[in-house]
Amino acid sequence: MLGTIWINFGLGMLAFLVTLGTAVASNVWLVSLERAGIAFVLFFLAAFPIRWLLATFIQASTPPMVTDSLEGTSSPLAEGGVVLEIGQQLEQEDETFAPTSIDKMERIHPTEDPATVAEVVRRLSDE
């Protein structure tokens, strides 16, 4: 679905305030509050199918993106202009997967020693 529950809540609150503002002028405040509450619930619930329809239309208008794991690029067409299915993409990843051994891993050494870093921080905090 498109968006979050806060969209529903915001739409419901807008309906609540507009209904309360217009109903208070010609009704008792309790009746106005009841009608505003009904408007909140109706608009809150009506936002769900609206968000679902918008998400469906947006997904239908954009082509699916396939990530090329070897090159790190995204393109709607992969390998010879054919869009890969999810299952095919997973099969290709399984074939090229090789776990990294501990010997190949490199240890990252800090570029500065802690004393130099402490001096720089002290100088910057004094200014």
pLDDT at res. 107: 58
- Cβ-count burial 52-72 (b if 16+ within 10 Å, e if not): eeeeeeeeeeeeeebeeeeee
22/111: higher pLDDT: 22
Question: Domain-by-domain residue ranges, the chain?
Answer: 5-28+40-59
pLDDT at res. 83: 55
Taking residues 55-83, report their average pLDDT. 61
Average pLDDT, rounded, for the chain: 76
68/118: higher pLDDT: 118
